[in-house]
Structure 1
Amino acid sequence: MPYEILTPKEMAQADSLAMKRGPFDGYGLMCNAGAAIAALILERFPGLARVDVLCGPGNNGGDGYVVARLLAQAGVDVSVWAEGTPRAGGDAARAASDCPIVPRPLAEFSPVPGSVIVDALYGAGLSKPLSSMAARAARLVAGQGVPVVAVDLPSGVSGESGQPLGDAFAAALTVTFARKKPGHLLQPGRRLCGDVVVANIGITDAVIAEIGACAFENAPELWLEDFPISHVDTYKYRRGHVGVFSGEPSTTGAARLAAMAAARSGAGAVTVLSPTRSLAVNGAHLTSIMLRKADTLDEVLAFLDARKPKTLVFGPGLGPEPEVGNFLLDLLEAIGRAPESMVIDADGITSTALQAETFFRALERQGAPQTIITPHEGEFHRMFKSIGEDSNLSKLEKARRAAAVANAVIVYKGPDTVIASPDGRAAINENGTPLLATAGSGDVLSGICAGLLAQGMAAFEAACAAVWMHAAAATHFGPGLIAEDLPEALRPVLRDIFARRGA
């Protein structure tokens, strides 16, 4: 499936290129869009009696006029309510002229129970609040609870950020064209869109490729070819060794969750690096996971020299105190003995936030490990304060800027997790689930990232795969999920991935 995401600006470029390349001109693309929407409405609402089509003055409204004409031809009772007049000579004006239904002013619109509303007022390119009349229509529709089919994006929602710009429509079905936009995947836009269908209206994959988009919907197609598959001659250390730092006795569970997830996701060996006072509690709970005393930096460095782990997980359950961050910086100073990759999560983020610039510079040094940082909302704001506070940036752009500043892959967690690489690539996760809103699930995600890194997967692809697998495992397990269930729940997910790879 196509998985690029286009910003509103990139979508406008795609429209222009498609018209230039042919075979459809602008009106042809508009008619194709209207036909796709009308067909979906008839399919989703069998026995439909009445439709109110709300049309704006631009091309989104032009799509609406086509929808109204086609539904009327199919025998549906259709009314058109217009805000503004399409520009003379444009495609929308032609669509309005071809529509036999005389539009009435949007100011007179009032939804009728049992009707379906087609929101063709404004699309993904909207950058300002709705007019008072459009906002009134959105509130009336919400009050009646009638279903809305949105053309491109619910009016009032930013296609760039997914944020409402004031009053906004909430759709049961959104029909967009060629590719999804960030606003279809970023919350709360994702919720306001309802079911999103991407319609093919004649904009080819070649045109999309010419745009050069570098944001993607996180699905297996994005990383499947890079997913590690063991060869017949593989042994455990070739599959990678992961070291996970443990905290104090009362917080050791976080490290064990990460360790088990690293092992379950394919790492050949996993060692928990434990303070002396936590050895007994860790030892009582670990079987296939190894355990090693690590009270000091010298003991950690001795472990790195002796066992040469490929990946370290630093943060879960370590505590937010500054000395924890100091330990991480000291470890990075010993750069010649550092592992190939690291995952920094939880307290690893909070404890370094006050010296973030020093941390970022350490990740820029020659030979520094490739690093994945996995902040939730609060941790992101602590580590990337000025970026997090910039209300002009979408979550997608915040993650991208943070990745560039930190020289690390950022997994900006949430119901709309964004994964961003320092090279500008980014992905918005598409299979998130509220089942993951449970203590310890983030520790498991860190472990999955580490397990994939240890097997040689590049940081961006590993992070994308881990985020998707994490959510897929939760969905497969279902209600009642707690973090301890997640490593075991990875098994059917891994089986499916291996089957897709033909392994």
Structure 2
Amino acid sequence: MIGARLLTVEAMRRVDAAAIAAGTPGLTLMERAGAAVAARARVLLTEGGREGGSVLVLCGPGNNGGDGFVAARHLAKAGFAVEVVLLGRRDGLSGDAAGAAAAWAGRVREGAPDVLPPCGLVIDALFGAGLSRDLDGEARALVERVNASRLPVLAVDVPSGLDGDTGAVRGVAIQAAETVTFVALKPGHLLQPGRSLCGALHCADIGTGAAALSAGLAGCPALFRNGPELWGAGFPHLTGESHKYTRGHALVLSGPAWRTGAARLAARGALRVGAGLVTVASPADALAENAAQLTAIMLRPCESADDLDDLLTDERLNAVLLGPGLGSGEPTQERVMVAASAGRALVLDADALTSFKGQAATLAGYIRDGEARAVVTPHAGEFARLFAGTDAVEEGLGKVERARRAAALSGAVVVLKGADTVVADPDGRVAINDHATPWLGTAGAGDVLGGLIAGLLAQGMAPFEAACAGVWLHGDAGLRHGPGLIAEDIPELMPQVLAELLSRLGR
């Protein structure tokens, strides 16, 4: 599991400290980091037809700048023309950064230049992931100058100006073509706008060792990059004895006759992801409309919370999805209460969340009292409405912390949707998803996601793993289709997505 872990800024500090305490000098780690940056720079220069071209290395006053000095030395030794700019004074450097600078025999230009010299590549070694203030003054001006130049940039650790924990921009940030980081990715590499600013990501092993990594992770919140290595072991596995009744039965509630499409999209998602049976329950006036467009999916009438209560006497209905097209208000609240009290796996989306606007504690009470295995899937607006007045929406919080607090408060797995969807479990685990495409920003795509998660829950996956898997599968379908994607395409892509996933899992 360690391969999927992300390192916060604090965890990375602990890893470095543990490696140094175990006998690896800090300057040795810096040497390896700078060498890795130089190696990637050589590839970029060669692939860009600029072999033998010039490199501008921008060094900051700390250890990130030290990495830059090492990279400059390796590139100069390889025959590249290298110019080093130091944001500050050479005699102001200390520690390992001073040692790295001392080993650089070339000229150092102190202070930000008014005009960037022509070059084939800029190496951004100004500020790393631990930046804790907004860039201003000379630093801000230099970053803006680099961005305006449109020169290709290779960033060291993170693009300067990027918060390594939140992906937020500290005043202004470099737009990099590629980024080389060390040991493991940081949250800011995956969270927007950081993900877009980093360009292509490369993670270099600098020899800190497994023991130092474990020491760095000890006591830190469990934070992961979403992917099959996180949840693949628990992904549904068919055997020769599997049949539709062993593969779970998902129930999707539909709105009335003029609001049925969302439920059908969700139901098709649940069926395509492998649920053995899927039923759509709707008011009587919607039965004919749903019947005209569904075949393998069964239909049942459901006018009220009492009707839902009756339906759930069938214990084979083991996962319930409420919200898409259902309408917001007290009737939907009552249905949620019934479903939660039945103790089934539960997915709440859209109107099921809006119905509890500002009443997160009430919803949490229903979930906890019923011991429901619940997943809630809000987008940013639904999240703000549901958790209004709680510490999950405090100003200045990053997306990871917002989702983590919301999960702890609600007792449900929270899927905070967006270009950088975050999945948080009440136990503190969090996964960040970067396996997606902007083409998923289309009407109905979120309804399909709810169905995918419900279908996986019906097959017995635990809520956190089901949510993470559903988000990843959803993103994979979007990546496969690309331009022109509409929500109806997503379930139809599941056979391809699942076939490749199962092959990857060795099944």
Report the TM-score when normalising by structure 2.
Answer: 0.95
- Which residue of 301, 313, 319 maps to 1:311? 319
Structure 2 residue 378 is matched with structure 1 residue 375: yes
Deviates more, 1:39-48 or 1:102-111: 102-111
Alignment match, 1:117: 122
In the alignment, does 2:160 pair up with 1:187? no
The one-letter code sitting in structure 1 at the alignment partner of 2:35 is A
Superposed CA offset, 1:314-362 (max 9, x none): 0001122343223322443xx2xx1420000011111122432111111
Deviates more, 1:28-37 or 1:101-110: 101-110
Q: Is contact 1:149–1:171 with CA below 8 Å preserved after alignment?
A: yes
SS of 1:175's equivalent in the other structure is strand
Deviation of the 1:113 alpha carbon: 4.1
Asked whether 1:198 is paired with 2:203, we answer yes
* Distance across 2 between alignment mates of 1:141 and 1:221: 38
**TM-fit CA distance, 1:56:** 1.1
Consecutive aligned runs of 4 or more in structure 1 exceeding 3 Å deviation = 85-89, 112-115, 386-389
Q: Encode CA deviations 1:216-273: one digit per residue, 9 max, x unaligned.
A: 0001111111101112112212110100000011210100111111011111101001
> Among the aligned pairs, what percent are the same residue?
47
Write out per-residue CA displacement over residues 189-233 of structure 1, whole angstroms, 9 at most, x where no aligned residue.
000111111011112233222323510000111111110111211
The answer (yes or no) to whether the contact 2:251–2:319 under 8 Å persists in 1 is yes
Segment of structure 1 superposing worse, 442-451 or 295-304: 295-304
Consecutive unaligned residues of structure 1, counting only runs of 5 or more, are: none
Correspondent of 1:243 among 225, 248, 251: 251
Assess if the C-alpha contact under 8 Å between 1:309 and 1:339 holds in 2: no
Q: How many aligned residue pairs are there?
A: 497
Q: Which residue in the other structure is 2:460 paired with?
A: 456
Q: 2:275 and 2:467 mapped to 1: Cα distance? A: 15
- Matched residue SS, 2:356: helix
Residue 5 of structure 2 is matched in structure 1 by 4
* Cross-structure match for 1:219: 227
1:274-304 C-alpha deviation (Å, 9 max, x unpaired): 1011111011111000000011222212211
Aligned to 2:444: 440
Indicate the RMSD between aligned Cα atoms, in angstroms.
Answer: 1.5
Counterpart amino acid of 1:6? L
TM-score (norm 1): 0.96
Per the TM alignment, residue 79 of structure 1 is displaced from its structure 2 partner at its CA by 1.1
Of the three residues 171, 177, 180, the one matched with 2:176 is 171
Q: 1:345 aligned to 2:349? A: yes
Tell me the distance in 1 between the aligned counterparts of 2:376 and 2:339. 16
Trace 1:242-321 onto structure 2 (pairs within 5 A): 242-306=250-314, 308-321=316-329
**Partners of 2:136 and 2:75 in 1: CA distance:** 27
Counterpart-to-counterpart distance in 2, 1:396 and 1:355: 22
The 2-side partners of 1:341 and 1:389 are apart by: 26
**10-19 or 42-51: which moved more?**
42-51
Distance in 1 (CA, whole Å) between partners of 2:237 and 2:353 is 31
Q: Which residue of 2 aligns with 1:84?
A: 88
Are the counterparts in 2 of residues 271 and 292 from structure 1 also a CA contact under 8 Å? yes
Q: Which amino acid aligns with 1:79?
A: E
* 8 Å contact kept, 2:61–2:93: no
SS of the residue corresponding to residue 357 of structure 2 reads: helix
Other-structure match for 2:22: 21
Alpha-carbon separation, structure 1, partners of 2:265 and 2:314? 24
CA distance in 2, matches of 1:389, 1:422: 16
Distance 1:74 1:250 in 2: 68
Aligned match of 1:97: 102
Shifted more, 262-271 versus 299-308: the winner is 299-308
The DSSP-based 3-state class of the residue aligned with 2:3 is coil
Q: Which residue of 2 aligns with 1:424?
A: 428
CA distance in structure 2 between the aligned counterparts of 1:114 and 1:85, rounded to whole angstroms: 23
Deviates more, 1:113-122 or 1:65-74: 113-122
